[in-house]
Amino acid sequence: MLYFLSDGLYLLLYYVTGYRKKVVLDNLKNSFPEKTTAEIIVLHKKFYRYFCDLFLETLKTLTISRKKMLEHCRIDPGAELLFKELAKENKSIIVVMGHKGNWEWAGNTFSLCCKHQLYVIYHPLTNKYLNGLMCKMRKRFGTKLIPMKDTFRDMIKNRQELNATAFIADQSPNPANAHWMNFLNQDTAVFMGTEKIAQKIKYPIVFVSVQKLTRGYYVLMAELLQRPPYIGTEGDITETHTRKLESDIIAQPETWLWTHKRWKHKRF
């Protein structure tokens, strides 16, 4: 029933309302200059089909059972082993990921399968009803939330417990405070917050990837990127996790959030 509704929503969104179609089309063209016009149109449509699935899957979080949640989004054995080893060492971690695959379901699966208490950094919505709904949904399986403005303060406050703090680091930062690099064939401003906080709090950094297997089924993958002490030049950590995300997007482009105006800022 959910995916039947999603098919109808796709027809409405793509052919009737045209929600952000130009933004998505421009993002795809600029990110994949090697693709033909026909290939871009196919990818454009595939993204909107997935976008509708993602929207309804996210709402389904309000009612889905724990058993079904783990059937639809499982954790890769290698990722599970990595988190278990870090828990044995009593190491709290920083998780960095992007808006790719069903990141909401990945958070649920992590909270259900792992010993670390998961905290997700989020930007509160101005609409109080929608904000309350999203918070209820995200906390249903044990995840806790940290408002973006309180990130470092709350991480310091939570240092006595075994936890994982998740940063979704693929949005558009203030260009004056950003690290600039080539990402998907474009000059791109990238958040430095993950790197700066990691250097201060000295937690290992784990990159999490959410791969779509088939419609409605995902697997959570994880890779240890770096451990403290962090050495190298400024921007190294940021470039490392951004390159990982770029590879994931290229491998499965329709599952990234192309509606976001990712490249609205230009370098000074």
Q: What is the pLDDT of residues 115-153, one digit of tens each?
A: 999 999 998 888 999 899 999 999 999 999 999 999 999
Task: Enter the tokens of residue 197.
Answer: 């906080």
Condensed to tens digits (0 to 9), the pLDDT of residues 62-92 reads: 999 999 999 999 999 999 999 999 999 999 9
For the chain, the C-alpha Rg in angstroms (whole number) is 18
pLDDT of residue 267: 85
pLDDT at 30: 98
Check residue 265 and give its pLDDT. 87
Instruction: Tell the residue number behind the tokens 């044995």, with chain if given.
Output: 88
Distance from C-alpha of 175 to C-alpha of 265, rounded to nearest angstrom: 6
Specify the DSSP element, H or E, that contains 155. Answer: helix 151-157
pLDDT of residue 125: 87
Strands annotated E in the chain? 73-75, 93-97, 117-122, 144-147, 163-168, 179-183, 186-190, 205-214, 217-226
Return the H-helix or E-strand segment holding 111.
helix 103-113
Q: Please give the pLDDT value at position 260.
A: 93
What is the per-residue pLDDT for 232?
A: 85
Neighbours of 222 (CB within 10 A): 24
Domain ranges within the chain, ordered by starting residue: 71-253
Q: What is the pLDDT of residue 236?
A: 95
